[in-house]
Structure formats: C-alpha cells, structure tokens
Amino acid sequence: MIYHDWIGVLHQLREKRQSCVLITVLSEQGSVPRDSGSKMIVSQHETWLTIGGGHLEFQCIAQARAMLESGTRAPHTEAFSLGARLGQCCGGRTTLLFEPLLQAQPEIWLFGAGHVGQALVNLLSTLPCHINWVDSRAAQFCHVPPGVVTHQPEDPLDCVAQAPAGSYFIIMTHHHPLDFALCEAVLRRGDFRYAGVIGSATKNQRFRYRLAGKGVESDTLARLRCPIGLPDVKGKLPAEIAVAIAGEIISVYQQTIG
C-alpha cells in the first residue's frame, strides 16, 4: 500500500505502539531528488513515503534503524552531498532531520505452552507487545498467533539470559522444579519489569522460602508475583486464568507509559 499521508501513518504506528524515525528534508541546494518538507517514515521492518530513493535513501534507512536499535531519543540533522561518493549523480546538497519517535513496547517472555499458556498467548498477541513463547516441547506449539516468536531450547534458562533488560517474565511450565529454576534466574538478573509465576499460595510460600535461603534479597522477592494474575478475577478455567494474568500485565505496562 502506498501512503501519501504521513500524519496518518504516524497515527497508525502510535495506535500499534510501534517505534519509528521520521525523516524530513530540511533544505536543498542545487539538483536534489526531493524538495524541502518531503518526508519518509522508517520502522524496524517497514518504510513509508520517500526522500528520493537511491543510495541516499538506503543509507538513511540504515541510519534510522540503527537509531531505533540503540534507543536514541535525540533528533539530529545531517547534510548529504549527492555526488559520486554517495552513489548519486544529482550533484546537489540536502540536509535531513532525523526524529526518533519511540513507543514503549513490552518484551514478554512466556515460559510454558500448556492449556493456560495457549489461552494466554492468544490474548497477549492482540496487545501492542513483543511475545516470545518458550517451551522445549515443540509439539505444544500447535497454534501460534501471528507475530509470536516461539523458542524450543534444550535449556529454557538460556532464554532468560538472552532476554533484554526490562522484560516481562511469565513462568507457567509443566514442571515445578523448572518453574523454580526459571524464577531464581529471573530474580537474580534483577533488571526485569515484571516477574510472575503461576501457582497456589502454598507454592508461593515454598518458592519464597527456598529463594530467600539461596540468598535472593527481600526487596527482589517482594517484586515477584505469585500467585500470578489479578486477584479479583476468579476462576480456574484456562481462559479465566489467562484473563487475570493479561489484566495484570496490562496494568503494569500502562503504569510504565502513563
């Protein structure tokens, strides 16, 4: 689809909470492919509009995506000579403004693809977030919603290590010892935005007692959510539990962006 309304594109990206860089032609001298005011929008995987094509545009897209990757927030201007060195034959000169428009998008790591995990991932996939779904049993991924990335590692603890800072960790595997190991690994990182473990009040007490005995500090333990989910949302059906957990995730990330 070809977009001519850059404001409309930005609105759509904002609705999806998807980060982008807005590139604007500020000035031009001599022969240039686009006039002042021309705009282009670059996300991590897509582009809209154009500032003239060619190697100039290719270089600007790469630069914009590098800004997104690094989380750069400050806008900056840059001048380009459209000569042989840039692979252009216009011979003019243009100055561009790069404006990063960053949207917070939660990075969610869901461990476990049982009945509750399957119900939960279907709900989370409708939210503006990145979802990593982890289970060593590949056969459990019978239905994967669009946009969800699946992982089948030999050791799920490897996924805890590779997750970026500020991630949301939801632990609900088929094996209590694995739940505990994952929980300990997440808490020892300390840089998580959310950490929740499915289970009963008894499981919560046992985990906290064992984690404290292994040296996990009380302040970190206090951030652990177990039992997971909003307590006012009752029910034991997978869909009911999933709603309670999704509601809690939403409440946490809305506090972050509010």
Q: What is the pTM of this model?
A: 0.70
Q: Residue 101 in 3-state DSSP?
A: strand
Considering only residues 35 and 119, tell me which one the structure prediction assigns the higher pLDDT: 119
Per-residue pLDDT at 2 exceeds 70 = no
| % of the chain at pLDDT higher than 70 | 93
Largest Cα span, the chain: 74
Is residue 243 very low, low, confident or very high in pLDDT (cuts 50, 70, 90)?
very high
Is residue 88 very low, low, confident or very high in pLDDT (cuts 50, 70, 90)?
low
pLDDT confidence of residue 3: 45
DSSP label at 215? Answer: T
8: phi then psi, degrees, rounded to nearest 5: -65, -40
Residue 213, phi-psi category: left (phi > 0), alpha (psi -120 to 50), beta (remainder): alpha
Is residue 1 very low, low, confident or very high in pLDDT (cuts 50, 70, 90)?
very low
Average pLDDT, the chain: 89
